[in-house]
Structure 1
Amino acid sequence: MSGPTTSTTRTQEHRRLGVFAVAFLIVAASAPLTVIAGGVTSSFAVTGVAGIPFGYVLLAVVLGVFAIGYAAMSRFVTNAGAFYSYIAQGAGRPLGVGSSVLALIAYNAMQIGIYGMFGFQISSFLESKTGWASPWWLWVAICIVIVGIMGVNRVDLSAKVLGVLVAAEFVVVIVFDVIAFAQPAEGVTAAPLTPATLFVPGVGAVLAFGIAAFMGFESAAIYGEESKDPKRTIPRATFLAVCVIGVFYAISSWALSLAIGPDKITGGGITAEEAGPPLFFNFVAEHLGVLWVDIMSILFITSLFASLVSFHNAVARYAFSLGREGVLPAVIGTVRVRSGAPWAGSIMQTVIAAIVVIGFAIGELGWDPANGPFAVLTLFTWLTNLGAFGLVLLMVLVSIAVIGYFLRDPRDVGVVSRMVAPIIAALSLSIVWILILMNWDVLLGQVESTPTTFILPAVLLVPSIAAVFWALWLRRARPQIYRQIGHGTDEDIVSDAPHLGSHSVGV
């Protein structure tokens, strides 16, 4: 008789990920080609700000400072809940539960938003080659099924697939960078790398697009329970990812600004037809030919796919952590015995993505094509920036949690890591968050505020605040569940060990 197929326990056999594997998962979430051909082009078109390259440098520095305290705490907290667990242990369980809902919505928004760009890109590519104007949602539906299947299997398999795709992305973006620097539209200038070109009206929108490019760098902690040596793997992978992402995106966005031309960017010369990926691909077609456009188009699609898989994994692990601790239904806190993958959390994310995509597909019926591609301008822009908005707030809360955690017991951590860096990070990220909120209408491409301007932030904030009160109710009505919040299972609380528990369930 065969044993159970699912469990709440992970064993040493499930610890398969090394530093580079985790780093690949992080960089895959940011998706290099997606950021340059999708995020940066959309940012230039929406904001008209030429200083986006300096924005990446600034954000890399801020996130590097944030990572100092984050990495210090990761030495003592190994939990698939990552941000949620850190906040619960450092700033209190109620705030931890609120942050868990914030994280679930933010990561879901980011992942589902990328589906919009994915469907649009495949549809556009096929139409250019065959003349078939296929609906974007058809390809999204197929992709949701594939990503869902990968999500319930071994995470190191996903890491290997993503590693190959990410390596190919880096190669083609570097090729683009070389050509852009060699043949700029208006000459080579270092102006986009100066503060003066960034700190102009619309800077908040630039930072929102920019932070979205980094979204995923913090996901190293999510894989702590599947890493070979969490105390070393997680900090090293985090710093490696921040450095690679920051430097690479600053240089590549600078190259893109030269390819477009700073005057065209700031002068509003980008047309509706050019906005988004066409800014990138038109330059490639002109200077490298159609073959390179095709190669890069395919890799852009695989880049989006890699990002979708990575964010799907992140959402599934957050859900698993909450289910394991009783905040969500217990079945969500189970993993497959053979792979260690959180199968129920994966299915939950798949279902949520399908429902939201169906809603947007129905919403497209009243859309005027003259306004641009619906999937990109609504599903992608709205939801990815909503995800970035939530991520920044989460990092503010984590910085505060690091301070609180080490105030109770400094352990062997220096004052810079446990106090100075988190304070600087909390203040800096709070400023970024406020700027994003103040520029929300710019992100949505609105001339003036509409109900949507307020509804989208509320989608994140209202459920998160409600979850804080839910946790307070749990403290009174279900103290045993409340005790486990952010700490894993009962056994973890007692032993302070990184394992997940010992009981199994069959299906």
Structure 2
Amino acid sequence: MPTEPPVPGNPPRPGRLGAGRLATYATAAAAPLTAVGGVMPIMYAVSGNTGAAFCFLVLTIVLAVFAVGYTAMSRYVPNPGAFSSYVAKGLGRAGAVSAAFVGLLAYNAIQIGLYGLAGAILADFAGVEFSLVLDWWIWALVAWAVVGLLGVLRWELSGTVVTVFLVLELLVLATLVVFAIANPAGGRTSATGLDPGSLSVAGLGAVLALGTISFVGVESAPAHRAEVTDPRRTVARATYLSVVATGTCYALCAWAFTVATGPENTSTVAAVAGPGLVADILARHGGAVLAVVAQALLGTAVLAALLAGHHAVARQLYGLGFERVLPARLGRVGVRTGAPVAASLVQTGLALVVLLVFAVTGRDPVTELFTWLGGVGAVGVLLLLTLTSVAVLHFFNSRPDSARARWQRLVAPTLATMGLSVLLVLLLADFGALLAPGTPAYLRGLLPGLVALVALAGLFWGLALRSSQPEIYARVGGGALEPAPAPVPAGGTRRAAAST
């Protein structure tokens, strides 16, 4: 998205976040229990690929290398939380509008797809624990109503609540890994899930797509740059820590699934258990109470992920409306709450339309709503990351005064661009692995093609703004090119002012 001004509210407080706390926020934004308990079983069920654990290690390495240039450039970008701000500085404003449109599509797709996952999880939990049997779409609409209301009120989880929930989620996942290792299927701990050869079989596209969206959120650390203790070091350290911690957690849990079920059985067991796979494994070795707690935490984790996704999309729409790239009404906020009400309502309305279409047509909430939209979101996210990496490379190497180390300005961005490009090509080549048997063949091209169409539409709109409304075009990705000057020491204000 283009540079978006902060939504009115409490201003950031410089110096309140250290690397550890910022990494905690970024890791929590990735919603690890949602990824492991909700996404991974679907990944195994849809793909039939047992190499998910190794795939997560590959994704972790690529994203860690990407973070080198990404965090180095963040201090030159007015809105370091928006990929399109990097594209604006490195590749131009028309490209930034294109990236903004792709971001809107990708994050909307992921957020709305999560409603299908939430509906399935809540329906299963209510049916098993309370004998309350309702269709998935009813629970999805309940979640939609809650998220829509909280979005208008601009309600967000406090830092303390986020930390507590993250600790509880990680405890559940640690217990899963311990139980799996202590009780391997067949009495033998298999390393098949970590074997690179496992990825060579069919289903790679599904593993890459669902693995990619599982990391969404870890890139959020630079958005808090104004609140950290040492912007030069804290943001980079927090991003590396978050990426590595999240990726390691995912790899261990993906491997634990294959150990607990046996690699040859993982796909079948996951297809039967669905998002209840974690609870099933914990119930078998730790008792029913532990399983209920895990499933309840999974439900709250998905709801929190839905709310976070809604806020992210609303902020993107707000920024585009504020800059007049999209209708100005989207840039308005509520008088009492300071929430981007118009943008929030647009996202809520779009989600409702999609939910109703899938419900009325009898589509499956997991193998269709979640996987189809998740696949679109994954293509969009990988494209955004690739464009951002290219922008970082061009930005640093087109400036004769760049004092950045060769690793930051050239080597890491080049490696990241190559790695991300390969992942994107592999995903596009095997996108059909995300689609269940019997799915219309044209969706293999149509769904990822939506990303290309939206990217082109954004590019043409950016070029149109450049020629017809240059004052608006000039604001896209705006802000000072150089980093903000260091604060003037106490007592030196007049001397500094006089020297300028």
TM-score of the pair, normalised by structure 1: 0.87
Specify the alignment match of 2:161 in structure 1. 161
Report deviation, 1:455. Answer: 1.8
- For 2:307 and 2:194, the matched residues in 1 are separated by 32
What do the CA deviations read for 1:185-228 (whole angstroms, capped 9, x no partner)? 13112232121222333223212221121112123334446667
Helix, strand or coil at the partner of 1:104 = helix
Q: CA 1:322–1:486 in 2, change beyond 3 Å: closer, same or farther?
A: same
- For 2:402 and 2:76, the matched residues in 1 are separated by 10
Specify the alignment match of 1:140 in structure 2. 140
Specify the alignment match of 1:246 in structure 2. 247
Alignment of 1:477 onto 2:475: no
Alignment of 1:331-350 (within 5 A): 331-335=329-333, 341-350=339-348
Alpha carbons 2:144, 2:352 under 8 Å: kept:
yes
Alpha carbons 1:84, 1:96 under 8 Å: kept:
yes
Specify the alignment match of 2:453 in structure 1. 462
- For 1:480 and 1:225, the matched residues in 2 are separated by 27
- For 1:284 and 1:75, the matched residues in 2 are separated by 44
**Identity rate of aligned residues, in percent?**
38
Does 35-44 or 15-24 show the bigger shift? 15-24
- For 1:343 and 1:21, the matched residues in 2 are separated by 29
Q: CA 1:340–1:226 in 2, change beyond 3 Å: closer, same or farther?
A: farther
Q: CA 1:390–1:425 in 2, change beyond 3 Å: closer, same or farther?
A: same
Alignment of 1:209 onto 2:224: no
Specify the alignment match of 2:387 in structure 1. 397
> Aligned partner of 1:291: which letter?
V
Q: Would you say how many aligned residue pairs link Structure 1 and Structure 2?
A: 477
Helix, strand or coil at the partner of 2:280 = helix
Q: CA 1:308–1:281 in 2, change beyond 3 Å: closer, same or farther?
A: same
- For 2:417 and 2:291, the matched residues in 1 are separated by 42
Does 108-117 or 349-358 show the bigger shift? 349-358
Alpha carbons 1:14, 1:339 under 8 Å: kept:
no
Helix, strand or coil at the partner of 1:13 = coil
Q: CA 1:9–1:175 in 2, change beyond 3 Å: closer, same or farther?
A: closer
Specify the alignment match of 2:191 in structure 1. 190
TM-score of the pair, normalised by structure 2: 0.88
Q: Aligned match of 1:416 in 407, 421, 432? A: 407
Q: CA 1:11–1:124 in 2, change beyond 3 Å: closer, same or farther?
A: closer
Specify the alignment match of 2:491 in structure 1. none
Alignment of 1:425 onto 2:416: yes
Helix, strand or coil at the partner of 1:412 = coil
Alignment of 1:292-311 (within 5 A): 292-311=290-309
Report deviation, 1:411. Answer: 2.9
- For 2:154 and 2:227, the matched residues in 1 are separated by 10
Specify the alignment match of 1:87 in structure 2. 87
How large is the RMSD of aligned CA atoms in angstroms?
2.7
Report deviation, 1:152. Answer: 4.8
Unaligned runs of 5+ in 2: 486-500
Does 458-467 or 232-241 show the bigger shift? 232-241
Alignment of 1:44-443 (within 5 A): 44-79=44-79, 82-152=82-152, 157-186=157-186, 187-224=188-225, 231-265=232-266, 269-270=268-269, 272-274=271-273, 276-335=274-333, 341-364=339-362, 374-409=364-399, 410-443=401-434
Alpha carbons 1:441, 1:448 under 8 Å: kept:
no
Alpha carbons 1:79, 1:222 under 8 Å: kept:
yes
Q: CA 1:309–1:80 in 2, change beyond 3 Å: closer, same or farther?
A: farther
Report deviation, 1:272. Answer: 4.4
Q: CA 1:351–1:154 in 2, change beyond 3 Å: closer, same or farther?
A: closer
> Aligned partner of 1:273: which letter?
V
Unaligned runs of 5+ in 1: 1-6, 368-373, 499-507
> Aligned partner of 2:204: which letter?
V
What do the CA deviations read for 1:17-60 (whole angstroms, capped 9, x no partner)? 72455434432332212211221111112222221111111110
Report deviation, 1:387. Answer: 1.0
Does 185-194 or 20-29 show the bigger shift? 20-29
> Aligned partner of 1:379: which letter?
L
> Aligned partner of 2:194: which letter?
L
> Aligned partner of 2:272: which letter?
E
What do the CA deviations read for 1:296-318 (whole angstroms, capped 9, x no partner)? 11001011112112222221222
- For 2:484 and 2:330, the matched residues in 1 are separated by 21
Report deviation, 1:345. Answer: 2.9
Alpha carbons 2:53, 2:251 under 8 Å: kept:
yes
Alpha carbons 1:222, 1:317 under 8 Å: kept:
no
- For 1:328 and 1:106, the matched residues in 2 are separated by 17
- For 2:150 and 2:159, the matched residues in 1 are separated by 11
- For 1:54 and 1:285, the matched residues in 2 are separated by 27
Q: CA 1:338–1:23 in 2, change beyond 3 Å: closer, same or farther?
A: farther
Alpha carbons 2:202, 2:433 under 8 Å: kept:
no
Does 229-238 or 55-64 show the bigger shift? 229-238
Q: CA 1:318–1:271 in 2, change beyond 3 Å: closer, same or farther?
A: closer
Helix, strand or coil at the partner of 2:450 = helix
Alignment of 1:485-496 (within 5 A): 485-487=476-478, 492=479
Q: CA 1:220–1:33 in 2, change beyond 3 Å: closer, same or farther?
A: same
